[in-house]
Amino acid sequence: MALKYLHTMVRVKDLEKSMAFYELLGLRETSRKESEGGRFTLVFMAPPGQEECPVELTWNWDGDEGLPSDSRHFGHLAYRVDDIYETCRHLQENGVTINRPPRDGHMAFVRSPDNVSIELLQEGDALPAQEPWASMENSGHW
């Protein structure tokens, strides 16, 4: 049986705000579909050079009152990064809460504006412990 990964879909409440968050992570819009009949927009975003692994942002034009919720039924999205400390610093400077700081130099968690849990993993070996991350407490859920 042949199987091919297509994408991960997440519902979003504010398309522009959500796109801005994923752009902070380094993803770029690869395609978009507007459905007047279904009253929704699909935006596919992926890291440059990895267009085969997109996240699909689904925005319902008439709203989605269930968002954001704390539902984690699908788990999380995960991305490998070149420098976890620099990535977290960049996100934090742009208003993103680091829910699980990279105290170990290897793993961190943040959440999107729609409460989607995002895991960030250091490429290769863990980086040496570094402040302020080493002594930073968790914030909220991740």
Catalytic residue (one of 86, 119, 131, 137): 119
Residue 77 DSSP one-character state: E
- How far is the C-alpha of 10 from the C-alpha of 22, rounded, in Å? 12
- b/e map of 83-101 (b: 16 or more CB within 10 Å)? ebbebbeebeeeebebbbb
Residue 43 DSSP one-character state: E
Q: Using DSSP, how many helices (H) and how many strands (E) does the chain show?
A: 2, 8
119 as an active site residue: the answer is yes
| Residues marked as catalytic | 119
